[in-house]
């Protein structure tokens, strides 16, 4: 049972980590806490479902599709709404994104209804047996994919011009501007990438969890904890924190009972906020734009 618990925790943690990266980056680079992130994940899941039910497209292939859709959506939302509000007050962006989330959820309700959907591929449900523990294929695949995405994004930030522009803007907006980096473009790109990653996480999640318009709300709590635990703006932090989170949840369930999972998660969250808001691997300059 112990090893099964560990496997469960790690596999789930990987997915949650990917779900958090976009959120963490947006917060780190732009100082915006995007409450619509859950909505983005949800839309990613629905894109995957739609592609699967209409075209029989395997969800893994729907990932780029989800990412593309969310990238466009994210870019648009940032350029038109978030950017304006960022200029007036960063705290207003919380309310704004809350409103956006509400709109996204209700549009999906209108289009797809509140019925629960699921994506059932031929291989879902079967598991790999390793030394007495069962590793469900789908969970393993999503885990691997999630980490691959995280690594890809990490490399993107460090190795490409666009990525470096994002990091530079986070570090010092004014100097970046002097270096011919347009902060507004950077912000829009960051937000768009954040949304795209959320979309990917949603597509992955569509294989594991029931899909419904409010599924984003289940994620956002975990996303918050993982972001803060790992350090706002840090991808490595997200991955580490995600895995930790998964393990903590699994063990809490084992030791205390499943109904204590949320209490423990919030306790962890509050403790970090109070004792070490920087998180495990966060840098000072992220998240504190005035």
Partner 1 sequence: MSFLARGASAGAKRTLLTGSLVLLLLIAAPFAVSNYWLRVLTNILMFATIAQGLNIIVGYTGYHAFGNSVFFGLGAYATGVGMALGLPFVLALVLAVVVAVIAAVVFGWPVLRLSGHYFAIATVALNMAMLEIIINVGGITGGAAGLALPLSPLGPDTLYKIIYFLMLTVMVGATGFILWLDGTRFGYALRALRDSEAGAEVMGINTTAVKITAWALSGSFTALAGGIWAYWFTFIEPGSAFDINVSIKGYVMMLMGGMGTVFGPLIGAAFLELLATLVWGKFLKIHLLILGLLIVLVVTFMPRGLLYYLKSWAAVRGRRDSTDVSA
Partner 2 sequence: MACLLYCATAGAAPGENTLKIGAAVSLSGKFAREGEFLKEGYDFWKDAANAAGGIDIGGQKYKVEIVYNDDESDAQTSARLTEKLITEDKVNFLFGPYSSGIATATAAISEKYNVLTMVPMATADSIYQRGYRFVFCPSPLASTGLLPVLELIESLPSKPGTIAIVGPDSLFPNITAEAARKKAEQMGLKVVYTAKYPQSTPDLSSVVTALKSAAPEVVLATGYTQDSLLLVKSMRELQVNPKLIGLAMSIAVPDFRDSLGPVANQIMGVDYWVPTLTYTGHVVKDSTTYASQYKAKYSKDPTYQAASGTAGGIILQMALEQARSTDPKLVREALLKLNGETFYGKVEFNDRGVNTAAKLNVTQIQEGRPTVVFPVEVREKPVQYPKDAWK
For tokens 């947006």, the residue is 26
Closest CA to 147 of 7, 19, 5, 47: 19
Give the H or E element holding residue 283. Answer: none
By CB under 8 A, residue 125 contacts partner 2: yes
What gap in Å lies between CA 197 and CA 66, rounded to an integer? 9
- Which residue lies nearer to partner 2 by CB, 7 or 281? 7
**Which residues does 110 contact at the CB level (< 8 Å), separation at least 6?**
none
- Contacts with partner 1: how many residues (CB under 8 A)? 40
Min dist CB 95 to partner 1, Å, is: 5
Chosen from partner 1, partner 2, none, partner binding at 224 (C-beta under 5 to 8 Å by type): partner 1
Confirm or reject binding of residue 125 to partner 1 (CB under 8 A): no
SS3 annotation, 18-65: HHHHHHHHHHHHHCCCCCCHHHHHHHHHHHHHHHHHHHCCCHHHHHHH
The only residue of 113, 151, 182, 184 in contact with partner 2, by rule CB under 8 A = 113
Distance CA 248, CA 244 (A): 6
53 contacts partner 2 (rule: CB under 8 A): no
Q: How far is the CB of 189 from partner 2 (least distance, A)?
A: 30
Query: Are the C-beta atoms of 48 and 61 separated by less than 8 Å?
Result: no
- Give the footprint of partner 1 on this chain (CB under 8 A): 27, 31, 33, 81, 84-85, 88-92, 94-96, 98-103, 105-107, 110, 221, 224, 228, 259-260, 262-263, 266-267, 269-270, 273-274, 277, 287-288
- Give the footprint of partner 2 on this chain (CB under 8 A): 1, 4-5, 8, 12, 106, 109, 113-118, 120, 124-127, 134, 136, 138-139, 205, 208-210, 212, 214-215, 217-219, 249-250, 253-254, 257-259, 261-262
């Amino acid at each position: 049972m112990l090893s099964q618990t560990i496997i469960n925790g790690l596999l789930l943690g990987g997915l949650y980590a990917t779900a958090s990266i976009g959120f963490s980056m947006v917060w780190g680079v732009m100082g915006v806490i995007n409450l619509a992130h859950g909505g983005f994940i949800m839309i990613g899941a629905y894109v995957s479902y739609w592609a699967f039910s209409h075209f029989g497209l395997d969800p893994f292939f729907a990932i780029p599709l989800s990412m593309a859709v969310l990238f466009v959506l994210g870019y648009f939302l940032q350029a038109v709404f978030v950017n304006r509000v960022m200029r007036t007050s960063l705290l207003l962006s919380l309310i704004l994104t809350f409103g956006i989330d509400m709109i996204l959820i209700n549009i999906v309700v209108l289009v797809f209804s509140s019925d629960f959907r699921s994506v059932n591929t031929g291989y879902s449900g079967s598991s790999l047996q390793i030394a007495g523990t069962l590793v469900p294929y789908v969970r393993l695949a999503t885990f691997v994919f999630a980490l691959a995405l995280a690594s890809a994004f990490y490399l993107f930030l460090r190795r490409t011009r666009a990525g470096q522009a994002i990091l530079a803007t986070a570090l010092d907006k004014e100097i970046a501007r002097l270096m011919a980096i347009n902060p507004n473009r950077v912000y829009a790109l960051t937000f768009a990438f954040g949304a795209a990653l959320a979309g990917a996480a949603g597509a992955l999640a569509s294989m594991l969890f029931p899909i419904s318009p409010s599924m984003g709300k289940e994620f956002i709590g975990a996303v918050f904890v993982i972001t803060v635990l790992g350090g706002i703006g840090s991808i490595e932090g997200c991955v580490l924190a995600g895995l930790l989170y998964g393990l903590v949840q699994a063990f809490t369930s084992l030791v205390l009972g499943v109904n204590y999972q949320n209490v423990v998660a919030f306790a962890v969250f509050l403790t970090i906020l109070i004792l070490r808001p920087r998180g495990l691997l966060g840098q000072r300059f992220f998240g504190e734009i005035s």
